Structure 1
Amino acid sequence: MESADFAAGYYQSMTYLGIVILLSIVYQTGQISKYISRTKWPEVPDLPYKREKTGRIERNIDNPREAVTVVPDVSNIHSTPKVYLHKFMNYTVGVITVGDMSIAEILLFVLYIVINVIFLLLPFSADASGGETLSKRCAYLALANAAFVFPLATRNSVFLKLFGVPFERLIRFHRWVGRTIFFLLTFHASFQIQRSYNTSVSEALFGTPTNRWGFLAYLSIFIIILTSHSVIRRKLFELFYWSHFSFIFFVIFGSLHQEEFIMFLGVGLGLYVVDRFTRFLIGIGPINVIGMEAIQSGVTRIIFEFKDYYEPGQYMFINFSNLKPPVTWIAWHPISFSSAPSVMDDGVHFASVHMKVQGGFSKNLYDKTQGGIEQTPLNFRIDGPYGKPSIDFMQYRTVTLICGGIGITPMISILRDLVDRQVSNMPIVTQAIYFIWVIPDTDAYQWFGSDLRELMARAENLPENKYLLDIKIFLTRSTTTPSSIFFQGRPDFSVLMQDIKQYHGSGDIAVGVCGPGIMLKQVRNAAIKSSDETCLFKVHCETFEL
C-alpha cells in the first residue's frame, strides 16, 4: 500500500463529507427561516382585477356607480444579473446517454469530475513508478467514491434529512458515482493485469489470490454497469433490479482483495442496510383496502386506509403479493398519491392512488379489478411515503400546475392540499392557482372529472377578490369541447405563462409539472423565456426515472 495513494482516497472522501456538511448547514438554516415565517399569518391583498361571475362588474361599496379595477404592480423585484443567472442555471440541454440536464446539473457534474481529477493528479510518492502509483491511486479514489454510492441509492435517504434532496433526485448522482467507480477500477484492473501478465491471461487473472479476488470484484461491478443501461432498465426491469445485487459479491471479493476496502465502504454500506431493514418493517404489514375501481381508459383507482402523514405530491411503492404469484411476492412499483393529506386533523385515515395500464403489473391489476376482487381479495402493502417537491408551493402567491395524462396524480394532490388550506382559512400565501391538464379526449377526463368539479365547487365559496382557481383541460384528439374549461389542441406554455405574469404583475410564480419528457422540456423552456425582473418562474418537475 502506498501511503500517499491511501491518503488521496481518504482526503477525497473527507472532501465529499465536508461538502455534505456545508450543504446541510445551508439547508437547515433555510428550514428554520421557513418555519418561522409559516407561523406568521400572511397578508392576502385583493387580486389585480375582480372577475365577473354573474355577467356584471362588482361595484365599490362606497360608490356603487364606480367599477372596481385594481391595477397589478409591475415593478422590478429582481436585478438583471439575477434574472440572467436564473435563466442560465435552469436552461436545459440534451446530453447523450444521460438525457435532459440543466446547466446547474452539468456544472455540478463538472465539479464532481474536477474533484476526482485533482486527487488523481496529486504529487505521486517518490518510491513508485508513475504507472503503478496511478493505478493504485485510481483504486483508492474508487473506494472514496464507493463510500457514498450506497447512501445515494437509499429510499430513506440521509441526504433528505440533511439537505432536502429525496431518493428520486439522487438516483442521477448515484449513476454518476457508479460509473466513475467503474472507470477508475477499469484503469486499475487493466494496469494490474498487464503488469502481472507473464505467460497467459488466466495466470494474470487468477495467478495470485490478490489478482483472483480483484478480478472477481471487477466482474461483479461490470455486471452492474452492463445491466444498468437505460434500455435494460426500461425494458427488462427485473434483470436490472436483481443484477444490481451483484454489489454483495463486489463487497465480499473487494474486501478479500484489499483490506482497506471495507474501511471506506463501512459507513455507507451500514446506512444501506439500515434503509433495507426500515423498508422491510414499513412494508411488512397489510393495508386495509377500502375500494378498487376500474375506471374508463385503463386506469385503476385504489382507496385505502392510511393513517401515517404524507405530503402532497409524494409517492410510494406498492405491492399486491397475491396478484400473480410468485412474481408479485417481491414486485414493488412506484406510484404517486392522488389524494392529499387532511389539514383538519393530525393525520389522514384514507388515501388514494390512480394507476394507468402501462405494463404487465398494471394490466393484471386492471383486469383483476374489472373481474371483481370481492371473491379473491388482494393483499396490499405499502413502502413509503417518499419524495419531496423541490418547491414549497404554499410560499408562492401564484401557482401553476401542469400535467399530461396520468401525470395528473401528483399535481392534483398538490391542488387538493392548496384548496383545502384556502377553504380552511389556514395561513397560506397562495391566492391564485392555475391547473392545466393535457389529455387525448374526454374519456381520460373521467379519471378525475368528479374530483375537479368538487374542487371548483369548493373554490366557489372563497372570496373572488382574494382567491382564484382556473382549470383548463386541453384535448389533443377531440374536435368538441363539452364546456368552457375545455380547449382543443395542445397549449402554448409560453403564452400561458406570459398571460399569468401580466395578470398578476410582480412576484415569483411556482410551476409544478408532471408528464412526458417532451412536456417537461417545453415547460422548462417556457419558464426560462417568461422570467424577467418582475417575475421568476420556479419549476418543479415530477418524474420517475429509473
Structure 2
Amino acid sequence: MLESGDFAAGYYQALTYLGVVILLSALYQYNQISKYIFRTKMPTVPDLPNRREKDDTNQTPSTIAPDIHSAPTVMFHKLINYSLHIFSVGDMTVGEILLFVLFIVINLIFLLSQFPADATGAETFSKRCAYLALANAAFVYPLATRNSVFLKLIGIPFERLIRFHRWVGRTIYFLITFHGSFQIQQSYGISNSVSQALFGTTTNQWGFLAYISLLIIMFTSHSVIRRYFFEVFYWSHFSFIFFLIFGNLHQPEFLLFTVVGMSLYIVDRLTRFIFGFGTINVIGMEAIQAGVTKVIFEFKDYYEAGQYMFINLSNLNPPVSLIAWHPISFSSSPSVMDDGVHYGSIHMKVQGGFSRQLYARAQDGAQYSQAPLKMRIDGPYGKTSLDFMQHRTVVLVSGGIGVTPMMSILRDLVDRQVANMPVVTQAIYFLWVIPDIDAYQWFGSELRELISRAGALPQNKHILDVKVFLTRSTTTPSSIFFQGRPDFSIFMQDIKRYHGSGDVAVGVCGPAVMLKQVRNAAVHSSDKTCLFKVHCETFEL
C-alpha cells in the first residue's frame, strides 16, 4: 500500500513514463517487422525524367506531377517540422516543442493532482516536488546510455535521446531546488541559524550535499562548457554518483525509484569498457590544409553510413589521454574495402587541445615513426532518422567539417549504385558550403573519385550532382564551384519540378543556422506531390 499521496504521485508518474516507453517499443517493433516483411530485394529503377526548360505555367497536363499525399498529411508534416528559435534553448521544431509541452503537462498533472492520504499546505507540496523529482530520476539515467536494452526497444539512438535527458535533468533540478529551498526556510524559521538550517540534522546534511552535487552537474552541463571545455563537462557529470549516495542517505526511498535506471547505466558502462578495451591499428595519418587531420585505421566491425564513435588515443598526450574519449563521425563508408581488410577513416578539425595535438602529430609524423598511436574505439553509435536508400532522390547538405557524416552517406550510396545493390536512390545532390578552396582539400580527392565512378553509371538511371559553395572566395576553379551561399528554397523547388512526385530525403550537418534554413526550406517546399523529409546531424552532447 502506498504510504502517502506524495509518494503515490511519484509512483504513478514513473508508471506513466514506463507506459510511454512500452507504447514506443510496440510501435517501433511493429514498424521493424513490417519493413522486413514488405521490403523488396531488387527495386525497379525507372528512367529519370527528361529535364524540362519550361516553367510550371507552361507545362502541359502530362508533365504535371500527380498528388501522392492528402492535404492533412502535408499540413501535419509542415507543422511538426517547422523550426523556431527558443530563447536560451536554441532551435527546436514545433514537434519537439509539443513533446516538451506534453512532458511539462505530465509533471504538472501529478504535481497538482490530489491522491488519497494527501495533506494540504506548502509542506506537502514540497514533498510532492521531491517525489516527482525521483520519478524523473528513474528515467534520466537510461536516457544517457548508449548500449542498454532501453534504446534497443524504442529504436531511438543516444544522440537523439540526449535532448530528453537534458529536459528531465533540468526538471529534476527545479523540483529539488523548490523542495530544498522550502525545507531550508522551514528549518531556518525554527532555529534562526543558517548553519542549523543546512546542517542541523542528519537529514538536512545529506540533502544539502545531494543538492550541491546536482548543482555541479547543472551548471557544468551548459552548452558553452560542453562545446569548449568538454573534459570539464565530462568529468563533473560523474557528480551524479554523489547525488545518488547522498540522496539515498537523505531519503531511503530514493533508491526505490533509481535502482532500475542505474542498473541499466552500469550495464552500459561495463559494456563500453569491455568492447572499448582493445586497441586497433592506425594505418596512417595526414595533416590536411586548413587544420584537419585525416586518420585511417583498421576496422572490421559492422557500422552504417553516418554513424559516429568515441575514440581514445592513449599515448597521444599521457597521462591525460589515457582516459580522454572524444566523439567523431566516420568519414568512410562501410563498403570501403582493400584486399579483404576493412578500413575506416575520420576527419577531425582543430578545435581544442586534443585535436590540436593530433594535428601536430600528423604534421611531424616521421618523428613518431617508432611509437605508433594506440587507438581504442567505443562504438559505433547513432542512426539516421531516414533510410536514404529507400528514397529515389537524396539531398545531402553540409557546412564546413559537418561534411564528414554526409560524405559517409554519399560514399555508401554511390558504392551501392556502382555495385548494383538493392537501392532505390537514383539522384543524389551534394551541397557543401565552405569558406575557401583550401577547405575543399579535406575531401577533394574523394569527391573527384566519386564523381568519376558515378559518371560510369547510365545517365538515364542515375545522377550525382555536386555543388561546392565558397563563401570567402572571388574565383571558382571549376564548374562544381559557386560563390556565396545557396538558396535552399529555390534549390528544393528546382528538384521538385525536375523529379515530379516522390518524397525527397534530405540530410544536413553544419552550423545551427544552416540546419534551421534547410529544415524550413524543406517545410516550405513540401506539398501534395512531394514531402521533403529532413535528417539533421546536430551531434550535440
Q: TM-score, normalised by structure 2?
A: 0.94
Residue segments in structure 1 that go unaligned for 5+ positions in a row: 52-68
Once the two structures are TM-superposed, the CA of residue 71 in structure 1 deviates from its matched residue by 6.7
User: 1:132 and 1:488 mapped to 2: Cα distance?
Assistant: 64
Segment drifting more, 152-161 vs 105-114: 152-161
Map Cα deviations across residues 110-133 of structure 1 (whole Å, 9 max, x no partner): 000100111111115556332222
**2:79 corresponding residue in structure 1:** 88
**2:230 corresponding residue in structure 1:** 237
Moved over 6 A (4+): none
Once the two structures are TM-superposed, the CA of residue 155 in structure 1 deviates from its matched residue by 2.1
Map Cα deviations across residues 322-350 of structure 1 (whole Å, 9 max, x no partner): 111222111111111010012899x9611
Once the two structures are TM-superposed, the CA of residue 283 in structure 1 deviates from its matched residue by 1.6
Given candidates 494, 497, 506, the residue that maps to 1:502 is 497
In the TM superposition, 1:55-74 aligns within 5 A as 74=65
Residue segments in structure 2 that go unaligned for 5+ positions in a row: 53-59
Once the two structures are TM-superposed, the CA of residue 35 in structure 1 deviates from its matched residue by 2.1
**1:151 corresponding residue in structure 2:** 142
User: 1:28 and 1:532 mapped to 2: Cα distance?
Assistant: 30
In the TM superposition, 1:475-494 aligns within 5 A as 475-494=470-489
8 Å CA contact 1:48–1:71 kept in 2: the answer is no
Q: Which amino acid in 2 is paired with 1:160?
A: L
Map Cα deviations across residues 26-74 of structure 1 (whole Å, 9 max, x no partner): 11111122223334321211101179xxxxxxxxxxxxxxxxx997560
8 Å CA contact 1:309–1:348 kept in 2: the answer is no
CA gap 1:127/1:465 in 2 versus in 1, 3 angstroms: closer
Once the two structures are TM-superposed, the CA of residue 356 in structure 1 deviates from its matched residue by 1.1
**1:61 corresponding residue in structure 2:** none
User: 1:335 and 1:70 mapped to 2: Cα distance?
Assistant: 49
In the TM superposition, 1:249-398 aligns within 5 A as 249-342=242-335, 349-372=342-365, 373-398=368-393
Segment drifting more, 460-469 vs 265-274: 460-469
CA gap 1:12/1:447 in 2 versus in 1, 3 angstroms: same
User: 1:541 and 1:403 mapped to 2: Cα distance?
Assistant: 10
Given candidates 452, 455, 464, the residue that maps to 1:460 is 455
**1:122 corresponding residue in structure 2:** 113
Find out whether 1:19 has 2:20 as its counterpart: yes
Residue 495 of structure 2: SS of its match in structure 1? helix
Map Cα deviations across residues 287-324 of structure 1 (whole Å, 9 max, x no partner): 10111111122111111100000000000111111111
User: 2:210 and 2:36 mapped to 1: Cα distance?
Assistant: 47
8 Å CA contact 1:146–1:181 kept in 2: the answer is yes
8 Å CA contact 1:399–1:430 kept in 2: the answer is yes
**1:57 corresponding residue in structure 2:** none
Q: TM-score, normalised by structure 1?
A: 0.93
User: 2:172 and 2:402 mapped to 1: Cα distance?
Assistant: 35
Taking only aligned residues, the RMSD between alpha carbons, in angstroms, comes to 2.0
Q: Which amino acid in 1 is paired with 2:290?
A: S
8 Å CA contact 1:72–1:503 kept in 2: the answer is no
Segment drifting more, 470-479 vs 126-135: 126-135
Q: How many residues align?
A: 529
8 Å CA contact 1:494–1:527 kept in 2: the answer is yes
Segment drifting more, 485-494 vs 158-167: 158-167
Map Cα deviations across residues 463-487 of structure 1 (whole Å, 9 max, x no partner): 1111111111111122222221111
User: 2:370 and 2:262 mapped to 1: Cα distance?
Assistant: 44
Q: Which amino acid in 1 is paired with 2:409?
A: I
Once the two structures are TM-superposed, the CA of residue 359 in structure 1 deviates from its matched residue by 1.4
Segment drifting more, 31-40 vs 428-437: 31-40
**2:100 corresponding residue in structure 1:** 109
Identity across matched positions, percent: 75
User: 1:508 and 1:204 mapped to 2: Cα distance?
Assistant: 62
User: 1:388 and 1:314 mapped to 2: Cα distance?
Assistant: 6
**1:178 corresponding residue in structure 2:** 169
Map Cα deviations across residues 478-517 of structure 1 (whole Å, 9 max, x no partner): 2222221111111111111111110000111000001111
Once the two structures are TM-superposed, the CA of residue 414 in structure 1 deviates from its matched residue by 0.4
